[in-house]
Amino acid sequence: MKKWFFFLYFLSTTVDAWPQAVPSKDENIPFLVTFGNKAKIEWGDDDFSQVFFFLIPETYAGMVFIRIFDADTGGKNDEVNGQFDTKMRYSLYGGKYAYSHNDAKNVDPVGNYKSGNLLVTKIVGQDPKLDDNWLTFGPFNPTEGEYVAESKSHAFKLICEGITGDDGNMYRYFMSTSANENIAIEGGNAFAFEYSFRLYDDPKQVSHIYPFVDEKTFKIQQSNFDWDDDGKIRVSSEVRHEQFCPISGDGVWAQSEFLIMEGEKGKSLNFEFIKKKPAVLNNNVVIYIRNQYGESMPFFSSPIGGVPKYKYTISSQKVKK
Ligand SMILES: [Ca+2]
Ligand SMILES: [Ca+2]
Ligand SMILES: [Ca+2]
Ligand SMILES: [Ca+2]
């Protein structure tokens, strides 16, 4: 039951103006990234697959649309390698086991991670109609998602896979009440267990992720990939002033572990990605975080408990020593 603990919080999350934009305003990440499966991993994608989950509170009975910005690989926003020859497959799943299957929570696309009912799938290559524009899936009834009793919500899973080619697809998501506009569902949220994303070129822009720390977590391991030695990864929370993590070079992973502090459980950590000057351009990176049991920790678009801000107190000073 403990694994559901984090869900209890999502309805009480501080309301972000765009909580269902993926990446969200709080994350300040320009694009999600998935490469075609013929690309070398040194371009910044370790597995050519990205899995996201969308949560809809059961109190919402209207229709749901899942929208994808710049679903094509070509034209604006995307990263060409030679010429554009890449295709992505987007697949949306609901029904039993869409979320609850253990393979769906793995950071690697292995086993039955495509669990649940396939609701819609679409292959997109170069497509001027979808370039710098929105593709909409839906409408769906929230009950087509997997019902999660512990959180009184329905979960959908969206997988983006690079099925051919060697170019980089940049894209974003939005869960909306409308087919034509981005209108958030009150109390909705989105999360992933592994993020593959683009950093800004501007070194003044700091990107964030907010992994949720549940009650059983006392130690975490962070893993980052293809950071190209670009600046720093800094972790903070209400009680943690700053902790720096080792960063990876070209096409390799860097990992480190640290202990969770008193006052961090039941809340989110703030991982900040601070670029160096001059900045590494077109930097695509991957990150995931596991607890001491090896379980992947979710990063919510709208951080559970709100964006953590360090509060200097006598007690936090003591913990730091
Ligand atoms: Ca190419
Ligand atoms: Ca494009
Ligand atoms: Ca794209
Ligand atoms: Ca990179």
* pLDDT value of residue 151: 78
Give distance in angstroms: CA of 254 to centre of ligand 4.
12
Q: What pLDDT score does 312 carry?
A: 79
Give the pLDDT mean for 36-65.
97
pLDDT score for 244: 97
The secondary structure of 39-65 as a DSSP string is: S-GGGS-SSSEEEEEEEEETT--S-EE
Ligand 2 centroid–CA 280 distance in Å is 22
Residue 9 has pLDDT above 90, yes or no: no
Q: Please identify, in words, the CATH class of the domain defined by 200-312.
A: mainly beta
Average pLDDT, stretch 274-289? 96
pLDDT for 150 equals 79
* Least-confidence region, from 87-96, 192-201, 218-227, 312-321: 312-321
Separation of 136 CA from ligand 3 center, angstroms? Answer: 14
pLDDT of residue 317: 52
* Ligand nearest to the backbone CA of 127: 2
Report which of residues 61 and 317 the model is more confident about.
61
Q: Which ligand is nearest to the CA of 39?
A: 1
Instruction: Note residues around ion ligand 2 (Cβ under 5 angstroms).
Output: 70, 72, 75-78, 131
Q: Are strands 253-259 and 189-192 parallel, antiparallel or unpaired?
A: unpaired
Q: How far is the CA of 198 from the centre of ligand 4 (A)?
A: 8
| Ligand 4 geometric centre to CA of 75 (Å) | 21
Give the CATH architecture of domain 19-198: Sandwich (2.60)
pLDDT at 19: 61
Query: What is the number of the ligand closest to the CA of 124?
Result: 3
Q: What confidence tier does 314 reach under pLDDT thresholds 50, 70, 90?
A: low
Boundaries of every domain in the chain: 19-198, 200-312
* 222/312 Cα distance (integer angstroms): 25
Nearest ligand atom owner, CA of 38: 1
Taking the centre of ligand 3 as the mean of its atom positions, its distance from the CA of residue 1, in whole angstroms, is 38
Neighbours of ion ligand 4 (CB under 5 A): 44, 226, 228, 283-284
* pLDDT tens for each residue of 204-251: 999 999 999 999 999 999 999 999 999 999 999 999 999 999 999 999
Ligand 4 centroid to Cα of residue 194, in Å, is 15
Which one of the ligands is nearest to 84 CA? 1
Which amino acid is residue 12, in one-letter code?
A: S
- Residues around the ion ligand 3 (C-beta < 5 A): 70, 78, 169-171
Which phi and psi (to 5°) does residue 103 adopt?
A: -65, -25
Q: How far is the CA of 242 from the centre of ligand 2 (A)?
A: 37
Please tell me which residue, 211 or 313, carries the higher pLDDT value. 211
| Ligand located closest to 86 CA | 1
In degrees rounded to 5, what are phi and psi of residue 195? -110, 130
Contact indicator for 143, 64 with CB cutoff of 8 Å: no
What's the 22 CA to ligand 2 centre distance in angstroms? 17
To which residue do tokens 């209890």 refer?
A: 8
Give me ligand 2 centre to Cα 131, in Å: 4
Say if residue 320's pLDDT is above 90. Answer: no
* Ligand 4 centroid to residue 133 C-alpha, Å: 25
pLDDT at 13: 44
Residue 20, pLDDT score: 80
Distances in whole angstroms, Cα of residue 143 to Cα of each of 172, 175, 191, 265: 24, 15, 19, 31
- Centre of ligand 4 from the C-alpha of residue 286, in Å: 8
The alpha carbon of 130 and the centre of ligand 1 are apart by a number of angstroms equal to 18
Q: Which ligand is nearest to the CA of 30?
A: 3
CA distances (Å), origin 258, targets 48, 164, 263, 290: 29, 38, 15, 11
What band does 117 get if pLDDT is binned at 50, 70 and 90?
Answer: very high
pLDDT digits (tens, 9 = 90+) for 55-113: 999 999 999 999 999 999 999 999 999 999 999 999 999 999 999 999 999 999 999 99
| Ligand closest in space to the Cα of 169 | 3
